[in-house]
């Protein structure tokens, strides 16, 4: 554990993105996948994590080489319109995602303490606003995300060690396959929660917060690899734990009590509180980081100050948080359906931002000798096809 903590402290910007990757949607869908299909969708988490690492690395390298942000680089290369479109779509994407995060926070507060979930949405959103406007925000976000990671490791990894894993079935689960038609759409939903292009795009802004330049190209590679891989691994562990515990009892994931059952082999009656606290921290970290992403993309799309401590970002982030809070309060008491809808709506910006990252990272006139290698280019292309698949799944849900 000491070596892991030392490794964790070496990660920086990519760890902030962990707050997006390891949100309530990721925990919920990974739990559903494990309880419903056992190990057979494990490959989805692994592949989505690899795609996320690739796009996060490309976004970071764009920032380090050009010494600017993603949308500023796009504005210089392609003009104002593509940058503005990317900013607007990114903003709308985050607004949709924020409603799910707000609902999840209210869901956690209700599960732990009772009362109306909408009241908890309002109460917990207040400290989120205070945090957004507080000094040294970047440092505080890193500490918050590390707390989430340690709690998840304590709960899920500890349980997995006790419950064990069917190694043969887990290896089979690394082979892409769909048990049934419903699994296809669940897999696309899982991909959307882990492979978040809006979050990957934000890596270029975090490079700016750290004041990193071309000399940190190798450091950035390690940071992206470790930060995203750690969070992808936790999503995989949640799936494995759910498969090992909930898969045997064939129960449907509909509540915090049901999802918490996967921790009972180790924590007994305290499992509910541990899981719900973890779910709350995951939701709260996403509640804070997501508005910062949407705000930065919007203001940068129009060429304004997009620094985390700048007033434009903080004002728009507060507005995003307020909109998410209002939508969650109006929706009602059960957030699971809202989480699913929000995950679908949140990918509206994926094709635009994904294209800008991929196009800039492979452009010799922008990146020079640091442009994508052939292998990274091919893998990024496969990732973009996945983005298109996620969008088509959204259209299916919209029509349905």
Query: What does the DSSP assignment read for 285-344?
Result: HHHHHHHHHHHHHHHHHTT----TTSHHHHHHHHHHHHHHHHHHHHH-S--HHHHHHHHH
Query: What value, to the nearest 5°, has the Cα angle with vertex 236 and ends 336 and 157?
Result: 100
Name the H helices within 38-79.
42-66, 70-78
Q: Distance between CA atoms of 117 and 328, rounded to whole angstroms?
A: 9
pLDDT, residue 198, reads 85
Residue 32 has pLDDT above 70, yes or no: yes
Q: Which of 188-192, 281-285, 287-291 has the highest average model confidence (pLDDT)?
A: 287-291
Higher-scoring residue by pLDDT: 188, 378:
378
The CA-atom distances, in angstroms, between 293 and each of 32, 158, 328, 377 are 27, 32, 19, 25
Higher-scoring residue by pLDDT: 366, 191:
366
pLDDT, residue 58, reads 92
Categorize the per-residue pLDDT at 167 as very low, low, confident or very high, splitting at 50, 70 and 90: confident
Q: Distance between CA atoms of 232 and 236, rounded to whole angstroms?
A: 6
Q: Which of 31-45, 74-88, 144-158 has the highest average model confidence (pLDDT)?
A: 74-88
Least confident of 18-32, 40-54, 249-263: 249-263
Q: How far is CA 68 from the centre of its chain?
A: 23
Categorize the per-residue pLDDT at 108 as very low, low, confident or very high, splitting at 50, 70 and 90: confident
pLDDT, residue 312, reads 93
pLDDT, residue 310, reads 87
Q: How far is CA 304 from the centre of its chain?
A: 25
Do 46 and 174 touch, CB atoms closer than 8 A?
A: yes
Query: Maximum distance among all alpha carbons in the chain?
Result: 60
Higher-scoring residue by pLDDT: 106, 337:
106
Higher-scoring residue by pLDDT: 211, 276:
276
Higher-scoring residue by pLDDT: 252, 59:
59
Categorize the per-residue pLDDT at 148 as very low, low, confident or very high, splitting at 50, 70 and 90: confident
pLDDT, residue 359, reads 93
Residue 144 has pLDDT above 70, yes or no: yes
Residues 6+ apart with CB under 8 A from 292: 132, 202, 308, 313, 317
What is the Rg, in whole angstroms, of the alpha carbon atoms belonging to the chain?
A: 20
Query: Two tokens at 88?
Result: 């607007």
Q: Is 136 left (phi over 0), alpha (psi -120 to 50) or beta?
A: left
pLDDT, residue 352, reads 86
Categorize the per-residue pLDDT at 209 as very low, low, confident or very high, splitting at 50, 70 and 90: confident
Instruction: Name the nearest CA neighbour of 21 among 166, 224, 264.
Output: 224
Burial class of residue 288 in the structure, from the number of CB atoms within 10 Å of its CB (0-12 exposed, 13-18 middle, 19+ buried): buried
- Write down the residue that tokens 């709308």 correspond to: 92
0.95 exceeded by the pTM?
A: no
- Write down the residue that tokens 């490079």 correspond to: 207
Do 341 and 333 touch, CB atoms closer than 8 A?
A: no
Residue 111 has pLDDT above 70, yes or no: yes
- CATH number for the domain spanning 110: value is 1.20.1740.10
Residues 6+ apart with CB under 8 A from 311: 305
Q: Distance between CA atoms of 355 and 359, rounded to whole angstroms?
A: 6
Query: What value, to the nearest 5°, has the Cα angle with vertex 37 and ends 33 and 38?
Result: 90
Higher-scoring residue by pLDDT: 287, 247:
287
Instruction: Name the nearest CA neighbour of 261 among 183, 153, 274.
Output: 274
- Identify the domain containing residue 224 by its residue range: 2-399
Query: Two tokens at 71?
Result: 């949308």
Higher-scoring residue by pLDDT: 3, 165:
165
Categorize the per-residue pLDDT at 38 as very low, low, confident or very high, splitting at 50, 70 and 90: confident
Question: In degrees rounded to 5, what are phi and psi of residue 302?
Answer: -110, 15
Least confident of 8-17, 105-114, 264-273, 302-311: 8-17
Residue 214 has pLDDT above 80, yes or no: no
Higher-scoring residue by pLDDT: 236, 139:
236
pLDDT, residue 194, reads 83
pLDDT, residue 392, reads 76
Query: To the nearest whole number, what is the mean pLDDT of the chain?
Result: 79
Residue 76 has pLDDT above 70, yes or no: yes
Q: Distance between CA atoms of 173 and 150, rounded to whole angstroms?
A: 26
pLDDT, residue 256, reads 62
Percent of the chain with pLDDT over 70: 78
Count up the domains in the chain and report the number: 1
Residue 344 has pLDDT above 60, yes or no: no
pLDDT, residue 394, reads 65
């Amino acid at each position: 554990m000491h070596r892991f903590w030392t490794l964790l402290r070496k990660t920086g910007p990519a760890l902030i993105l962990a707050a997006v990757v390891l949100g309530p949607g990721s925990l919920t869908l990974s739990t559903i996948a494990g309880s419903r299909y056992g190990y057979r969708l494990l490959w989805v988490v692994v592949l989505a994590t690899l795609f996320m690492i690739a796009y996060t690395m490309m976004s970071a390298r764009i920032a380090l080489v050009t010494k600017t942000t993603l949308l500023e680089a796009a504005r210089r290369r392609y003009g104002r319109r593509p940058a503005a479109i990317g900013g607007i779509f990114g903003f709308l994407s985050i607004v949709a995602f924020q409603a799910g995060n707000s609902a999840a926070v209210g869901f956690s507060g209700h599960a732990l303490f009772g009362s109306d979930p909408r009241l908890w949405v309002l109460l917990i959103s207040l400290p989120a606003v205070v945090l957004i406007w507080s000094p040294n925000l970047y440092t505080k976000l890193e500490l918050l995300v590390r707390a989430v990671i340690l709690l998840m490791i304590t709960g899920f990894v500890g349980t997995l060690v006790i419950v064990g894993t069917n190694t043969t079935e887990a290896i089979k689960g690394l082979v892409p396959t769909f048990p049934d038609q419903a699994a296809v759409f669940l897999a696309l939903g899982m991909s959307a929660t882990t492979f978040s292009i809006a979050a990957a795009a934000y890596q270029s802004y975090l490079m700016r917060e750290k004041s990193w330049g071309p000399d940190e190209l190798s450091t950035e590679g390690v940071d992206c690899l470790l930060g995203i891989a750690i969070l992808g691994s936790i999503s995989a562990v949640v799936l494995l734990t759910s498969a090992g515990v909930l898969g045997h009892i064939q129960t449907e994931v509909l509540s915090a009590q049901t999802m918490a059952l996967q921790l009972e082999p180790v924590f007994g009656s305290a499992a509910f509180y541990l899981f719900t606290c973890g779910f709350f921290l995951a939701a709260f970290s996403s509640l804070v980081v997501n508005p910062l992403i949407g705000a930065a993309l919007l203001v940068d799309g129009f060429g304004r100050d997009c620094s985390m401590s700048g007033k434009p970002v903080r004002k728009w982030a507060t507005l995003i948080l307020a909109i998410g809070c209002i939508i969650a309060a109006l929706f009602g008491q059960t957030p699971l359906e809202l989480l699913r809808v929000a995950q679908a709506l949140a990918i509206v910006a994926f094709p635009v931002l994904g294209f800008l990252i991929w196009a800039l990272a492979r452009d010799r006139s922008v990146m020079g000798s640091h442009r994508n290698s052939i292998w990274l280019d091919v893998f990024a292309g496969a990732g973009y096809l996945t983005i298109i698949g996620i969008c088509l799944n959204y259209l299916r849900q919209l029509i349905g």
